[in-house]
Structure 1
Amino acid sequence: MSVPHTASAPYTIRGMRVTDHRFTVPLDHARPGGETITVFAREYSDAAMPQPEAEELPWLLYLQGGPGGKGNRLLQFGGWTKAAAKHFRILMLDQRGTGLSTPANRQTLPLRGDAAAQADYLARFRADSIVADAELIRAALGSGPWTTYGQSYGGFCTLTYLSFAPHGLRESLITGGLAPLTGPAERVYRATFRRVAARNAEYFAKYPQDRVLTTRIARHLSETPEFLPSGERLTVQRFQMAGSFLGGNTRMDGLHYLLQEAFVPTPDGEPLSDTFLEAVHGLVSRASNPLYAVMHESIYGQGAATNWAAARVLEEFPEFKPGAGEPLYTGEMVYPWYFDEDPALAPLKETAELLAVRRDWPALYDPEQLARNSVPVAAAVYTDDIYVDRDLSLETAAAVRGLQVWESADFHHDGIADDGEGIFNRLLGMVRDEPQP
């Protein structure tokens, strides 16, 4: 099937040649003649290379983390893109519903109708649809089998790609993104709650004064109304979402800097500072990526409802509850109360509830196909990753024929932000059987 495709004239940004692409794809790939949506992707190549020569380079499709993450907006090559631009034309995909693709958020989803209609629409926004989009895009670009690079949820999408369209892949690289192939979402959250608890312990061992300060902030929020710049009250459980800092190497130290600016002296006492509240708002708002919350548990759904798995598993880990004596910071888990407290999500509460109880999720992976995989695949697995558990990742790696693992304790989930060039070069060398350091 061919799809309509338009491309902008190339333009340059700081040594990059940039072209914007728009593709018209089916909303439901099982009904190719039905309703369509737009998927946007941006091409980057080295502007120092003559354009005819650059156009001879093979394609690399970058599959962003998420769900609900748009492709990176590059201002110049750096990190892994600097390394990749030596070998490829890079295609940054705005996965359906994100960025410049047909949007799906509180403003646009009412166009679909009621909550049930919205949930049915969003059921077509998972990895299986993203991969089907990618295959149509590959054909529209005239590419043979291409290279994919999947970070986090992009790795989940890669496993779906390897399951259902391996003919479209030359080789695949994955960082922090080997999803469990089977089992309920509860398996994931039991593992990651333990990882997040260990990361909290590591953080407070490094900054013991922040244990006292974290507890002080939590108690203050439970007793004194404090409001985010968007107008809603900041609750203890929402403050705990600052644990997103713990998913990175140097980002962990950013939490320490944030807490140092928490309180400010005033004539009426010491409230939370405007600086602190502004920073926390940027951490806890899903206005820029609502699909992360709405679709999050569905990425683990296969043939059964997820039914707010993280919230149910939380009952087994009371140390994470906001009323705990010394509450811990949370990880990537999504809870029903998000849709009460975040103005960007509140209009989507009923839709999210319907997705949580949906039972007819199709399979995202084909274990039999993965067991006979012939596509070269290399994956970075981070020993202490709080978002994608190391043990579950290795279980998946063992189930994919020929998948090579590089495990590292030097990086956390956002390792490519710390040494993207080195990680990319290592994985590319692995799939091409080049000597490794």
Structure 2
Amino acid sequence: MDTICSKGRVDPFTATWQPSIPLFTACSARGRPTYKYGGPVRQRHEKTRMDVNPSGQNEERRSRRRKSHISRSPEANDFGKMSGISDPYLGQNGKVGPAELLEEKPVAEVPEEPLQKHEFTFRVPRDYKQPNGDRHILHVVVIREKKAAKGSKQRLSDFQPLPSFCYLCGGPGSPQEEDRHRVLTKHAVGNGFQMLLVDYRGTGGSEKLDLARLANGSDDEKMRAFQQARPGNIVRDYEAVRLYLAQKARKANVDDRLILMGQSYGGWIALLYAQRYPRSLRGIMLTGGMPPITASPVKVYEKLFESVAKDNETFYNDASIRSGNKEDPRTLVLRVAKAILARPGRNPRGNNLSLATFASLGRRLGQPGGAAQVSGTPSAACAVDSKNTVFDIVDTHTFNKRIIYAFEHETQCYVSKKGDRSLWSAKQVRDRSKHYKWVSAKSAAELDELAMEGEFFLLGETFMPEHAEDYADLRNLGGVAFAEKLAARGQTEDMWDVPLLKANLKHMDVFSVTFPTDMYVNADLAEDATKQLGNAVKSITLHPSVGLRHNAIRADPDKLLLIFKDLGCTYFSKTVR
């Protein structure tokens, strides 16, 4: 099959799909397709109009297909302008094939909704450079309009294929949680799509990291497990699942390209997908998900700490958000910090509460009403109660459940070049500020001295050396020492090729919503990235008065989808008015 590139011929109907028995193969610009039929040989009769030659008649057929309500692919002219597949990890001759189906559960009802769920287990290469090597297990869910009778044992293949809308959750290291996005799912299904949810590697129902085995394994084995769960492989996993679904969609003349909605880290995955496999995508929606594509890790954290500082100032100075708690936040934080130092040691689950982990409670400040939540947290009372209770209350990062999120956050999100590394960039920025000296204090007297210099600022979304020793599962894998070894290995793949990405995005619909007070994805850096991508992205940075923040897709999805509609997004035109 022809390789699609910026030069040379291209057949739009074979550009993105190569089933085991192809319906037809690539052909020259002057010749007809060579049809391949998997059944008995049969004679095809030509029907040639007197005023149209065979070549022109063939083009007429293609034109009619492109005008159908659900088109198979972008127009041929668009394909000719696309740069095509660009996966530097696989190289020029590498490719991704359809995922291997291991199990498909019978159709299931979605409780209290007119929807049905199809659940799959797939197998894909652990390393796509070795397609016949070890395999990795993926968990996939497809949600559609309810058509199956109650108690039916039907499979997805028993129903008419539909185009797929794919939600990419934040992370890294987070699973897809279908129950958290019911409103979005209903909008997708109500507009003729099926919702596609794929658990990222190491999360949810997909194959998780075997912590017990890794804890006893070599450092190389442990590092390889984390490296294989990075965005490059996540994109290839999605492409493998798409190719599996495409096998039937193509036969039914249904568009097999995906529409992606990337929330936060999901936006990283969406744009990397567009850069590497542009012919596989119909459009992209980013919600707080525009990555800082050329900013260094330190630059990113400098901007993020600026946002966190503003939320801390609100927490300390806005008396209206204290949820009935009359205690001054300065006194509250100082009192809890002293209580933590007075009761050192690990709780029965093996977790330790350091001042840095307590400071991570500030991650909640980035949510709507977050300052009120933090002010109302009964941390002070619990600090003299059960150690388990205290740790659970301030554990906003849940690193024991999201190991990848801990060890990989800086590398996966902010290191763009193969071989480059980020070693405690967040800590470097933290330690420059007088407002964070308190997290390294060793005594109550030292805390009292530091309190005279200013407020004790809480941390945002960061991974610190103290976390690597505080969380039992992180410590069992090697704690700080392992985190530093993994970071020293650096990025395993080049991430962003801005000219290529910019060129590819011109041939699909791309919409981006940025939140001005976002403490997780900085608005200034998001705007800089959008400018680099040119007018290919239809974007808006909301005014603070709109009231939406980073979690808008969960907090107020209807309002967010209206904003996308105003940008020109028509995917939900039937239900969003």
Compared with structure 1, are the counterparts of its residues 283 and 433 closer, same or farther at alpha carbon in structure 2 (3 Å cutoff)?
Answer: closer
Compared with structure 1, are the counterparts of its residues 258 and 176 closer, same or farther at alpha carbon in structure 2 (3 Å cutoff)?
Answer: same
**SS at 1:125's partner residue?**
coil
- The equivalences for 1:61-100 within 5 A come to 61-74=166-179, 78-87=182-191, 88-100=193-205
Asked if 1:4 corresponds to 2:133, the answer is no
**SS at 1:171's partner residue?**
strand
**Equivalent residue, structure 1, for 2:471:** 342
Separation (CA, whole Å) in 2 of partners of 1:333 and 1:81: 30
In structure 2, give the amino acid aligned to 1:222: L
TM-score (norm 1): 0.90
Compared with structure 1, are the counterparts of its residues 153 and 284 closer, same or farther at alpha carbon in structure 2 (3 Å cutoff)?
Answer: closer
Compared with structure 1, are the counterparts of its residues 2 and 147 closer, same or farther at alpha carbon in structure 2 (3 Å cutoff)?
Answer: same
- The equivalences for 1:18-97 within 5 A come to 18-47=117-146, 55-74=160-179, 78-87=182-191, 88-97=193-202
Separation (CA, whole Å) in 2 of partners of 1:340 and 1:186: 23
Separation (CA, whole Å) in 1 of partners of 2:425 and 2:230: 18
Q: Is the 8 A contact 1:116 1:351 kept in 2?
A: no
- The equivalences for 1:129-278 within 5 A come to 129-142=233-246, 144-207=256-319, 209-225=328-344, 228=347, 230-259=349-378, 262-263=380-381, 271-272=384-385, 277=390
Q: Is the 8 A contact 2:268 2:290 kept in 1?
A: yes
Separation (CA, whole Å) in 2 of partners of 1:233 and 1:181: 35
Q: CA deviation at 1:417?
A: 2.1
What number of residue pairs does the alignment pair up? Answer: 429
Asked if 1:405 corresponds to 2:539, the answer is yes
**Equivalent residue, structure 2, for 1:288:** 401
Q: What is the percentage of aligned positions where both structures have the same residue?
A: 24
TM-score (norm 2): 0.69
Q: CA deviation at 1:98?
A: 0.8
Asked if 1:316 corresponds to 2:413, the answer is no
Runs of 4+ residues deviating >6 angstroms: 48-54, 434-437
CA RMSD of aligned residues (A): 2.7
Compared with structure 1, are the counterparts of its residues 54 and 174 closer, same or farther at alpha carbon in structure 2 (3 Å cutoff)?
Answer: farther
**Equivalent residue, structure 2, for 1:419:** 556
Q: CA deviation at 1:428?
A: 5.4
Q: Is the 8 A contact 1:248 1:411 kept in 2?
A: no
Separation (CA, whole Å) in 1 of partners of 2:226 and 2:391: 31
Q: CA deviation at 1:379?
A: 1.2
**Equivalent residue, structure 1, for 2:493:** 362
When structure 1 is superposed on structure 2, of 124-133 and 44-53 the one drifting more is 44-53
In structure 2, give the amino acid aligned to 1:3: A
In structure 1, give the amino acid aligned to 2:552: G
Compared with structure 1, are the counterparts of its residues 124 and 56 closer, same or farther at alpha carbon in structure 2 (3 Å cutoff)?
Answer: same
- The equivalences for 1:291-302 within 5 A come to 291-299=404-412, 300-301=414-415, 302=417
Q: Is the 8 A contact 1:180 1:393 kept in 2?
A: yes
**SS at 1:38's partner residue?**
strand
Separation (CA, whole Å) in 2 of partners of 1:275 and 1:347: 18
Q: Which has the higher contact order (CA 8 A, sep 6+)?
A: 1
Q: CA deviation at 1:276?
A: 5.3
CA offset digits 1:247-268 (Å, max 9, x no partner)? 2103442222214x6316xxxx
Structure with bigger gyration radius = 2
